[in-house]
Chain A
Amino acid sequence: MNAPLPQDTAATAPLAFTGKARVALNDPRLRANFRRAMDGLMSKRAAQFADADEWRTLRARGAEARARALAKLPDLLERLERRCAENAITVHWAETTGQANAIVLDLLTAAGAKTVIKGKSMVSEEMHLNAHLAAHGITAIESDLGEYIIQLAGEAPSHIVMPCIHKNKAEIAALFAEHIPGQPYTENVDDLTGAARNALRGAFAAADAGISGVNFAVAETGTLVLIENEGNGRLSTTLPPLHIAVTGIEKVLEFLDDVPPLLSLLPRSATGQPITTYVNMISGPRRPGEKDGPQAVHLVLLDNGRSRVYDDPQLRDTLRCIRCAACLNHCPVYTRVGGHSYSFTYPGPIGKILSPQLEGLDCAGDQPHASSLCGACAEVCPVEIPIPDLLVRLRGEAISPTSRAVKGGGSARSLGDRLGRRLSTAILGQPRLYGLISRLAGRIGDRLPSWLPGLNRWTRVRSKPAFARRSLHALARERGYADE
């Protein structure tokens, strides 16, 4: 039995985060699905890193490997390209997702490919590759079980490691009964998994090409490292005659020796596993005498705004990310609203700093505000990305009058913001005025109605704060501190 024809993933139109989040918060099924999943992932990760010393040293090594690779990025990309060429892997460069799509389409067309089997790849989601291929008559079938499920549902992933985490068994059972010919409704997970295996086996054997992402690209040896549990990644990159890998330009590592520490951090942070079932290290197509493996391997390096991110020494840390999703799993916002509330390919804390930089603050400027700045993301990040600092930086860029560091910088400067800033600068700059206003607030603050404009944005979902009777300044003066 062949796999049913997949539908195109619906491209979701970017909507304001708050609106989507409100809808998600009112969906009890969605919230239950996420709550269960995230609690499990958090406790599994905690068990893996029970030894604080080990976590600290391993994490320092992982962060160092990523920071070193980024510091040498242009050199390492050239080295990677050279080593890949020596291994007979052809390297392509794309500035935009449009160029990357065109490269993939050209390779497939030249090979006469009609159907493609895909391993999981967030970069291909970023490219909306499936829709592009479908528009040119090429069918791309997702083979990761989670991706397959959401492809049947016509949805986008809601998590970067577990794409269909927002769905429960009953929803999946209904999807399979509807889309897989001859499949009865069952909530038995083994049966559902078996049905997917049967549906996809034929697709693997018949596919003209396989497309995958890349977890690490090793410059020293020209090796593409892919990690996964299902074996679909291995099948996609081994069985079809052509393998095309797509990756962001930041995924490079300098040495093969950098792989083990990151390999130890990634699955443990992601799903609490000591290692994934399969670690697939690809260093070339089938060589003379070998009986299997693809005849040709291509690597597409995608920029899509990453070199702009790279241009700022602070924001550059964004590019260290190894896509483990630990920050999503621990984020009090993500775990309540789920991934679809973010509108962009990368949800959760990493998305909140990556999307505005890739897409522009004018388009994704609300993302850095979808955070309580609690710091949970930075605490669990295995490569020490200071996510809250970057969130604050991006919030600043959005209203900075001169910002050029981020695409769309300064775009959130409204008249209200400008006036507000001027007003507060004026008040703070005049100690006597400031003193007067804070005394006044102490007197009448508690009597202000909560619907007052300015106050109501806070009080809509929180109780009104109690104003202090006496200001810190006054208290300090009483205790004998000099007030300057």
Chain B
Amino acid sequence: MNDTARAAILARLRAAPRSPAPAYPRPGTPAWAPPVHGSERLARFTALLEAAHAEVYQASATDWPARLAELLEQKAVARLLYAPTTPAGRQLAQAWGEATDGRPRLIAYDRPVEAMKETLVSGVEAALTGTLGGIAHTGSLVLWPTPDEPRLMSLLPPLHIALVEETAIADSLSALIASQHWAKAMPTNALLISGPSKTADIEQTLAYGVHGPKALIVLVIRP
């Protein structure tokens, strides 16, 4: 319908005087390179997330479900949304299956959103997701939602709990884009999350949970 608009816009842009494009990357100085944090990675990642009002804990590959159970009990979570077909989801279900204490009921995100809207919008207190990794420079979680672990898990419930492998914490977003070749195949939705939902729209006063999670718990899985 708007082929004419397209043609007209492009024709005007092409008729404009061309200036030479700066080279990529720009030779000479000053040269910007993404920061490298090396052995400080975990400390920086943790400090920045905590400064952004997230809670960060450490656990091992085997004891995290127990650690999670403690945290959920403290937070009085009755229903936990989880992804049943991910490795973490299976491990959680297994751990919960054997337990007899008052752990929250597991609610599987196993159908399309249209069939689960009610539950997602107001039927769970928390959700557990994995991550692709973390970014030390900004204290960010990297999520690539998948069919097994959909997008809304990290967004709708009031509490989001994320598992991060310590070995998957990178220096910077640039480092991740390069080392994992993101440009070759982006997922439908890639996300960086750096704390719980917040706003400062009312007199620059910080308030949490305006639309997304009010709280974010990060469990760093140590190797």
Contacts and interface: CB of A to CB of B under 8 A. Distances in A.
B211 A71 contact: no
B194 to A, nearest CB: 5
A197 to B, nearest CB: 6
B191 A307 contact: no
Given A93-B9, A274-B138, A276-B194, A291 B111 contact: yes
Interface stretch (A259-267, A353-361, A426-434): A259-267
B193 A278 contact: yes
Nearest to B216: A277
Interface in A291-344: 291-293, 301, 303, 307-308, 310-311, 313, 316
A281 B211 contact: no
A189 B156 CA distance: 21
Interface string B2-43: 100110111011111111111110100111101000000000
Contacts of A29: none
Among B5, B122, B182, max chain A CB count under 10 A is at: B5
Among A74, A103, A192, max chain B CB count under 10 A is at: A74
Given A58-B32, A293-B151, A271 B200 contact: yes
Interface in B180-221: 182-183, 186-205, 207, 209-213
Interface string A417-460: 00000000000000000000000000000000000000000000
A235 B186 CA distance: 20
Interface stretch (A9-17, A141-149, A208-216, A406-414): A141-149
A72 B151 CA distance: 34
A92 interface: yes
Contacts of B145: 290, 293
A72 B196 CA distance: 38
Contacts of A200: 211
B188 to A, nearest CB: 5
A292 B197 contact: no
Among A78, A172, A220, A282, max chain B CB count under 10 A is at: A282
A169 B152 contact: no
Contact of A260 (B121, B150, B174): B174
Contact of A282 (B5, B111, B173, B188): B188
B189 A282 contact: yes
B202 A292 contact: no
A259 B176 CA distance: 12
A292 B151 contact: yes
Given A36-B204, A145-B202, A255-B183, A275 B192 contact: yes
Interface stretch (A224-232, A371-379, A465-473): A224-232
A273 B195 CA distance: 12
Interface residues of A, number: 99
A223 B190 CA distance: 10
A64 B12 CA distance: 23
Contacts of B52: 277
Nearest to B193: A278
B199 A239 contact: no
B67 interface: no
B2 A92 contact: yes
A118 interface: no
Nearest to A202: B121
Contacts of B173: 259-260, 263
A71 B183 contact: no
Contact of A72 (B15, B21, B140): B21
B22 A64 contact: yes
Nearest to B83: A291
A234 interface: yes
Interface string A188-207: 01101110110011001100
Contact of A311 (B16, B29, B205): B16
Contacts of B110: 291
B203 A277 contact: no
Nearest to A261: B32
B12 A231 contact: no
A200 B14 CA distance: 44
Contacts of A255: 24, 183
Contact of A231 (B23, B117, B155): B155
B178 A284 contact: no
A30 interface: no
B109 interface: yes
Nearest to A276: B194
B190 A281 contact: yes
A221 interface: yes
Contacts of B186: 87, 221-223, 256, 281, 283
A286 B188 contact: yes
Contacts of A275: 138-140, 192, 194
A399 interface: no
Q: Which 6 A-B pairs have the closest CB atoms?
A: A231-B212, A71-B21, A61-B32, A146-B201, A279-B192, A57-B30
21 contacts: A57-B30, A57-B31, A60-B30, A64-B26, A74-B14, A78-B10, A93-B6, A103-B2, A146-B201, A169-B203, A231-B155, A234-B155, A264-B138, A274-B139, A278-B192, A283-B188, A285-B188, A287-B147, A291-B150, A293-B145, A313-B17
